[in-house]
Structure formats: C-alpha cells, structure tokens
Amino acid sequence: MKLFTPLAQRSLSLRNRLVIAPMCQYSATDGLPDDWHLVHLGSRAVGGAALVIAEATAVSAQGRISPGDVGLWNDAQLAAWQPITRFITGQGAIAGVQLAHAGRKASTQAPWLGGHPLAADAGAWQTVAPSAVPFDAHWSTPQALDTAAIAHVVADFRAAAVRALAAGFQLIELHAAHGYLLHQFLSPLSNQRTDEYGGSFENRTRLVREVIAAVREVWPESLPLWLRISATDWSEGGWDIEQSVRLAQEVKSLGIDLIDTSSGGLVPHVKIPVAPGYQVPFAARIRREADVATGAVGLITESTHAARIIDEGSADVVLIARESLRDPYFPRRAAQELGVSITAPLQYQRAW
C-alpha cells in the first residue's frame, strides 16, 4: 500500500500521499488570515495530512473572489500568514498556498449569502478577463485586459510568490482551474482575443506559461511548484483533456512538479457526470501521457478508494476537500482503517 509512503518533491518529502486541497473560507478581512484560518488549517496538519494547501489566495485586491478572500498582495498579509505556516510545519506537515486571480468571477458574495455578484452599494469592483464576456446572465461584464494589464497580473503573481516564501510557505500551487483568470485565458469559450494571448493553443496558454516562468524566477529551485487545472470545461468547443495533456507536457519543462487535476467551473449550466472519483481518469491520463506527477481530487471520501488510486498508479497524491471539512482528521482515520501506524502529536499519543 503506497498511500502512506513518502513522496519526494524537490528538496521536500511528503510524509504520505494525502493532501488537504485549497478550500475557500470567505472569512478574511482586508485579505488578512486570522484565528479561524489558524485553527482550520492547523487542525488538518494535526490530522496527519502530508501537505496543507491554504485556500485560493488573491495576488491582488481586484483578483479576490469575494471581500472575504485571503491575500498576499501586501506585507501585512505576509505577517498574518507566518504564525499559521509555523504551526503547520511544526506538526510535520508542509505548508502550501494556492495563488489565484478570480478574473471575471471576482466581486461576488460569500456562498452562504448567495454567491451572487456584488451590487454597487455592497462594494462591487470592476472585474477583468481576457475578453469582455460575462460569466453568466446578470453578471457584470468584465473589462478585457490589455497587454500592459496582463503584464501587471504576471507581476502580481511574482510578487505574491516572494511574499509566500517570506510567509513560510514551502509549496505554491498556481490556480488555473474552476473558471478563474488563468483558466479563462486557456479556454476558447472565454478567450475571444485575436492578439498574442488568444486564438491558437500557444497563444491561449501564453499567460499561464508567463506566470509559471515569473514565479519560478523567485521561487527557490529547491521547492515545489504545482499547477491546478480543470482538465475539461465539460462543454463543446471548450478546454478539454487533450489540451490539458499538451499543457502538462509543456509546463513540466518550465518547472511544474505536479498537475492537480480538477475540472469544470468555466461556464455555468453544464452537465457534469459527478460520481466518486469522476475526475481520477483525467489525472491518470495526464500522468501517463505527459509523464508528470498528478493529484486526484473530487468526491474521494473513503480510505480504500484513496489507497486504490495510488496503488493503481492513477495519481501520485490524493487531495481531500469536502471530506476534510467533515473530518479534519481523515488521514488518521484512513490510517486506522487501512491498518497503518502513523505518529500522533505528543499531546495525543495516550489515545493511540
């Protein structure tokens, strides 16, 4: 059984193959993580995960999904992350962060308030995208980014990576999935540009490649860099698994160490065949055809299922999301169910 074996990622060694996926909490003020984030992320490190990835963390105020998003666009946010990363690493886990820009899906309410676009009197801000195409009816029309603004987005990712390192993070995941800005550039459904950032596969992937290159310039060679993608838009004429394999092949040479393989989120009202492990075949195909490490995510709730994914070679890690919200100690439960012994914190060892 490989689920509880280490995985080398550059200079780091994940203590097992269970990773806590980034999950937005919509609970920050001015982009500052607080006690909630310390307890939320810290409890999952205590719970035995190898890597805890902080939620989508905005590289600019404009790139927030909601007013409650955390960020890394200023030094106050950097300082607020430091006690959180210190606690995570103190529990033997790796502290990761997902850097993100929401693009046309920014300026929305928290999900428990409806998740709809903010009204002007509720603090809405101008959204941006590759093209002036709104996400859905009744959503605001985003402003198409010009080349100077695109360069500024790249610089924002680069600056956030510098702050991530100073904040104590040991791994960065770049968010190019779920219909957010980088994904919007990838897909022909949202990218209708006719310049060097639109049209061909090479042009639509240009921004992702530029962001990776900019981050790799400042992110230590000894530390891993992951990329989360949506392997398919689940919509005809959109981004698909064939393009995902090709992108994975290209970004591997740019310094990407693992493709975190999700799907969907770019366009609304699509039919997705949701079932346990429904995205695993995408991770398996990318791993096989692009010869790069992958992560599997999506309705993986059972320890035996997670173990089978790794044993069969479908992915190198399993990312646990909503199951971790139900059970922050899922890795410890999985170990017990699978008959594996893992170390508990000193404070908890009398329970083992």
What pLDDT is stored for residue 8 in this prediction?
98
The residues near 76 (Cβ < 8 Å, ≥ 6 apart) are 30, 32
Contact yes or no for 207/156 (Cβ under 8 A): no
Residue 183: which H helix or E strand, with range?
helix 181-186
Q: Which of 260, 133, 247 is nearest to 201 (CA)?
A: 247
Confidence at residue 344, expressed as pLDDT on a 0 to 100 scale = 86
Rounded to whole angstroms, the maximal C-alpha distance in the chain is 64
d(CA 349, CA 251): 43
Q: Is 26 a catalytic residue?
A: no
d(CA 225, CA 252): 10
pLDDT at 265: 97
260: closest CA among 295, 288, 212, 225? 295
Strand partners, 262: 230
Strand spans (E) along the chain: 7-9, 12-14, 18-20, 51-58, 94-100, 128-129, 143-144, 171-176, 225-230, 258-262, 293-297, 317-320
pLDDT exceeds 90 at position 348: no
pTM over 0.85: yes
Indicate whether 352 pLDDT > 80: no
pLDDT of residue 181: 98
- Amino acid 164: pLDDT: 99
Average pLDDT over residues 231-241: 97
Q: What is the pLDDT of residues 75-90, one digit of tens each?
A: 999 999 999 999 999 9
* CA 238/CA 143 separation, integer angstroms: 21
pLDDT at 351 over 90: no
Give yes or no for residue 188 having a pLDDT over 90: yes
Task: Please name every residue paired with 77 in a beta bridge, in sequence order, or none if there are none.
Answer: none
pLDDT in tens, 60-72: 999 999 999 999 9
Share of the chain above pLDDT 90, in %: 96
Examine the pLDDT at 307 and tell me if it is beyond 80. yes
Q: Within 219-302, where are the H helices? A: 241-252, 280-290
Query: pLDDT per residue over 127-176, tens digit each?
Result: 999 999 999 999 999 999 999 999 999 999 999 999 999 999 999 999 99
Amino acid at site 156:
D
Domains in the chain with CATH codes: 7-351 (3.20.20.70)
Q: What is the pLDDT of residues 245-286, one digit of tens each?
A: 999 999 999 999 999 999 999 999 999 999 999 999 999 999
Which among 26, 180, 197, 278 is annotated as catalytic? 180
Sequence-distant (6+) residues with CB within 8 A of 140 are: 107, 117, 124, 126, 127, 134
Task: Let me know the angle formed at the C-alpha of 171 by 169 and 172, rounded to the nearest 5 degrees.
Answer: 100
